[in-house]
Amino acid sequence: MDELDKKILLYLFRDGRISIRSLASLLNLTPPTVLYRIKNLEKEEILEGFQLLVDPNFYGKYYSFIAFKNLMDMDDKWVFLKFKCVEWLNVYGIVGGSNAEIEDRISFMRKTLGEPVMQYTPLQQPLPPKELDIKIVKALQEDPRASTAEISKKLGIDSKIVIKRLKIMKNRGYISVIPKINIPKSGMSVFSMFSKRVPEIRAILSPCRVLEIVDKNNVGIEVCLTENIENVRNYVRAVREKDKEADVMIIYDINTKGIVE
């Protein structure tokens, strides 16, 4: 892993569907060089593939984040996101048809994992699912880097419509494609910050931010990727000058599932 490899991973985290040509342009490299480096990252088992993250509100569901000490782990079909953290925590994103169903699922988790350390349920307005968008997202779930032409052919939909719908869903924060990487092996640092004052810290984290989940009250989670732990310290220090109560977690593994029940 050199600095160029790290930049490739950073750009892939920001947009997991970026084309090789666009990536080459950003890095001032030739497309074959970028492709070779990506293949090498895969060969070294640093880049393990790509995964789709979908906002559950997009398909009519509610969600909540909850953290437990990671003395034990668990999974279920309604866990759409999981961060494994250095601080002996696992953070789970869980989905439900209502806030009451989410609370039932948290009670179920307590039986295995004990009492939660943290819970955050954003202010939400689930949307009625659009059949066309759901079809496109499910095609992406099968292959997160599928081209618009491949999706168009698979679904029998005009490619211009696919391009338009993907752009709308991405710009509204409904979907994100991110790489699945072996974070410890990469030598990079991934961290999240939970803040009740996201607009005040957004600019500080802009250079490293790869994912943002924020509600209408400006409460949310910022996920960042940077080259080393010293950079993490500098970002955390700067954020806490604006929000002394911001919580930080160092992440060593991220798993997402796309659309879940």
DSSP string, 43-97: HTTSEEEEEEEE-GGGGT-EEEEEEEETTS----TTEEEEEEETTTEEEEEEEES
**Tokens of residue 51, six digits:** 């995964």
CATH classification code of 183-253: 3.30.70.1710
Which pLDDT score, from 0 to 100, does residue 38 have? 97
- The answer to whether 54-120 and 183-253 have equal CATH topology is yes
CATH classification code of 131-175: 1.10.10.10
Q: 0.85 cut: is pTM over it?
A: yes
Strands 79-85 and 89-96: antiparallel
Which pLDDT score, from 0 to 100, does residue 244 have? 93
Q: Helix (H) and strand (E) counts for the chain?
A: 10, 10
Which pLDDT score, from 0 to 100, does residue 119 have? 87
CATH topology of domain 3-52: Arc Repressor Mutant, subunit A (1.10.10)
**Predicted confidence (pLDDT) per residue in 174-206, tens digit:** 999 999 999 999 999 999 999 989 999 999 999
- Other C-beta atoms lying within 10 Å of the C-beta of residue 178: 22
Which pLDDT score, from 0 to 100, does residue 97 have? 95
User: In this structure, which CATH number among 3.40.50, 3.30.70, 3.40.1350, 3.10.350 belongs to the domain 54-120?
Assistant: 3.30.70
**Predicted confidence (pLDDT) per residue in 16-49, tens digit:** 999 999 999 999 999 999 999 999 999 999 999 9
Which pLDDT score, from 0 to 100, does residue 186 have? 93
Domain spans in the chain, listed from the N-terminal domain onward: 3-52, 54-120, 131-175, 183-253
b/e per residue, 225-253, with b = 16+ CB within 10 A? bbbeeebbeebbeebbeebeebebbbbee
Could you say which residues of the chain have pLDDT below 50? Answer: none
